[in-house]
Structure 1
Amino acid sequence: MRLNDLDERIVHALAEDARRSYADIGEEVGLSAPAVKRRVDRLRAEGAITGFTVRVDPAALGWETEGFIELYCRRNTSPEDIHRGLNRYPEVVSASTVTGDADAIVQVFASDMRHFERVLERIAGEPFVERTKSVLVLSPLLRRFGSGAPA
């Protein structure tokens, strides 16, 4: 499904703050509150909006260390195998198959360096993993959260 301009503006407003009222969003996009609600309900029903959530600073939960792990997998490892293997780790916040030499890239949050090292060792020990390469984040420079391009 492709969103039209008005729907994109509504989604962008919700992505910035999902607690905004329909009236507030309507004022921004030029619709009444009931019209915004109808559009949001339709976007949810069609699967364009998959839910509403809260964003929490990982450091507030004790996750002070962030890193990325490149996975180099054994031959014939499917994306489903990678997903199943990584899904057990609460420290893994995202994982994607990628182009290039690595088969997948994994984003990990940990409480400290030692914790990151333990997670890295456990992931490297998964039967489908041939080798890993990791980098640690020094300072996050830019993060966007599901809003797409600004309206």
Structure 2
Amino acid sequence: MLDELDRRLIMLLARDGRRSFASLAEELEVSQSTVRSRLAKLREDDVLQIVALCNALLLGHQVVRLLLRVRNLTPRSVADSLLGIQHINHVALVAGSHDLYLEATCRDQPQLIELMDEIRRQPGVASIQPIIVTSLAKDYTWEGLRGTAGQNAGDPEAE
């Protein structure tokens, strides 16, 4: 469970993941060692990972979302088999008319075709519904984190 200090630390890092411990400590009004230990714990618990993000569309890449249906195997086992595929950035088990949700980025259409063929070869994959992203209006992994959805992550009292 995150406390208020953890939420504030995440909020500050969501705005600028390159901030120094000294800068964070000053704004949070705690010691640098507190920031360092809290950040280490958040990373150790897989609550937080600091990465650099780019807009793949602006780089000319193919961005695709894929909805998969699974047959004869569990969705979790199929998801595990997809984790090692290089171009897949996101694998999630979902509820509804599909079993898995994937996000992937490919250099171009031929690489996208190769990716889809590789996914189809995975045991248990019954069908794939690709959704080609042509433009991002809002992305929670980028600017969206500055809105209320990202700020309230982990806050049990958030609306």
Q: 1:20-76 deviations in whole A, cap 9, x for unaligned?
A: 11221123223343443343345456x2655x543142649x67111011111113x
Aligned-partner residue type, residue 13 of structure 2: L
The answer for the alignment partner of 2:54 in structure 1 is 57
Q: Does 1:73 align with 2:70?
A: yes
Q: What TM-score, normalized to structure 2?
A: 0.75
Count of residue correspondences: 146
> How has the CA–CA distance of structure 1 residues 63 and 91 changed in structure 2, closer, same or farther, with 3 Å as cutoff?
farther
Show the 5 A alignment for 1:84-95: 84-95=80-91
1:31 counterpart = 2:44: no
Aligned position for 1:150: 151
Which stretches in structure 2 are left out of the alignment for 5+ residues?
Answer: 153-159
Identity between Structure 1 and Structure 2 (%): 23
Give the whole-Å Cα distance in 2 for the aligned partners of 1:120 and 1:67: 10
CA RMSD after TM alignment: 2.8
Q: Deviations over 1:69-119 (max 9, x none)?
A: 1111113x1234213321231011111111111111111110112211221
Instruction: Specify the alignment match of 2:122 in structure 1.
Output: 126
Q: Does 1:97 align with 2:98?
A: no
Q: 1:104 to 1:141 in 2, by over 3 A?
A: same
* 2-structure distance, mates of 1:112, 1:43: 36
Q: Segments of 4+ in structure 1 off by > 4 A?
A: 41-45
Change (3 A) 1:104 1:63: farther
Q: TM-score scaled to structure 1, two decimals?
A: 0.78
> Which ranges of structure 1 fall in alignment gaps of 5 or more residues?
none
